[in-house]
């Protein structure tokens, strides 16, 4: 019988992905593929308007499954590496706001999964890092690219070159996480953030995410063209009509988007 190592629950428009592969949510190939499946389901479902990714109290995800990887030779990893990256990219490209609720360890692939979220909330005692260099490797699920884009190349190289773990306060100072809370509050804070956005204009939120991410990937000129196209397109939406009507009649921040 196949074990479901990641679950999806939906409450108030928020889809919560919970990693469930004890003891430390090691990201083996099956869990990677499960994440890809869930990303596709979330993308397609209109009742899910924002997303939380969480692990366990002990570990958000403590990296790849080392036993599984040790059994792979060069040819096997050439075959698997694209699937690994594609699974994480599917999460990164969910066209809805995504927040990672980080408790415990987020190391290696766990840190890379957190990087796929739009924002990261961490527990006060959380530990993050890219320790692949200690295995004679480099990050292979997007860490060299997403980490550098998030915190800058020099800081990213420091973490990747040394393989050191950083505490939540240091991660906050680096820009690796966005908020730090007591461990017992992290999920509730993340869910509240997602629930607030779940009530927002879904198409405009998708446009904002794709414009920011697409511009970072393509450069300023292509990014401005993408922004311009999305900006004009939103004038065709009912949410834009409601936003303008509400602003003029009731004041800012009172629109009820559909």
Q: What is the DSSP string of 13-78?
A: TEEEEEE--TTTT-B-HHHHHHHHHHHHHHHH-TT--EEEEE--SSEEE--B-HHHHHT--HHHHH
Which residues form the catalytic set? 64, 109, 112, 132
Residue ranges per structural domain of the chain: 6-198, 202-250
What dotted CATH number matches 6-198? 3.90.226.10
What dotted CATH number matches 202-250? 1.10.12.10
Q: Which of 118, 88, 113, 116 is nearest to 178 (CA)?
A: 118
User: Are the C-beta atoms of residues 183 and 124 closer than 8 Å to each other?
Assistant: yes
Q: pLDDT tens for the chain, 258 residues: list them.
A: 356 899 999 999 999 999 999 999 999 999 999 999 999 999 999 999 999 999 999 999 998 888 888 887 888 887 787 888 899 999 999 999 999 999 999 999 999 999 999 999 999 999 999 999 988 888 889 999 999 999 999 999 999 999 999 999 999 999 999 999 999 999 999 999 999 999 999 999 999 999 999 988 888 788 788 888 888 888 889 998 898 888 889 888 888 888
C-alpha distances out from residue 10 to 88, 156, 197, Å: 21, 34, 14
Given this model, what pLDDT does residue 1 score?
Answer: 36
């Amino acid at each position: 019988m196949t074990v479901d190592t990641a679950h999806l629950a939906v409450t108030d428009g928020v889809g919560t992905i919970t990693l469930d592969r004890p003891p430390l949510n090691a990201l083996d190939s099956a869990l990677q593929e499960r994440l890809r499946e869930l990303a596709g389901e979330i993308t397609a479902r209109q009742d899910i308007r924002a997303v939380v990714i969480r692990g366990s109290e002990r570990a958000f995800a403590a990296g790849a499954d080392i036993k599984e990887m040790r059994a792979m030779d060069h040819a096997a990893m050439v075959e698997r590496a694209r699937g690994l990256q594609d699974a994480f990219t599917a999460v990164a490209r969910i066209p809805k706001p995504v927040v990672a609720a980080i408790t415990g360890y987020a190391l290696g692939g766990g840190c890379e999964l957190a990087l796929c979220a739009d924002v990261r909330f961490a527990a006060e005692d959380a530990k993050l890092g890219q320790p692949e260099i200690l295995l004679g490797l480099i990050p292979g699920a997007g860490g060299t690219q997403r980490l550098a884009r998030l915190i800058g190349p020099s800081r990213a190289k420091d973490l990747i070159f040394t393989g050191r773990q950083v505490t939540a306060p240091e991660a906050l100072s680096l820009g690796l996480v966005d908020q730090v809370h007591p461990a017992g509050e992290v999920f509730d804070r993340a869910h509240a953030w997602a629930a607030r956005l779940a009530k927002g204009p879904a198409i405009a939120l998708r446009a904002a995410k794709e414009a920011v991410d697409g511009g970072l990937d393509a450069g300023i000129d292509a990014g401005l063209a993408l922004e311009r196209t999305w900006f004009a397109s939103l004038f065709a939406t009912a949410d834009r009509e409601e936003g303008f009507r509400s602003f003029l009649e009731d004041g800012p921040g009172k629109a009820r988007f559909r």
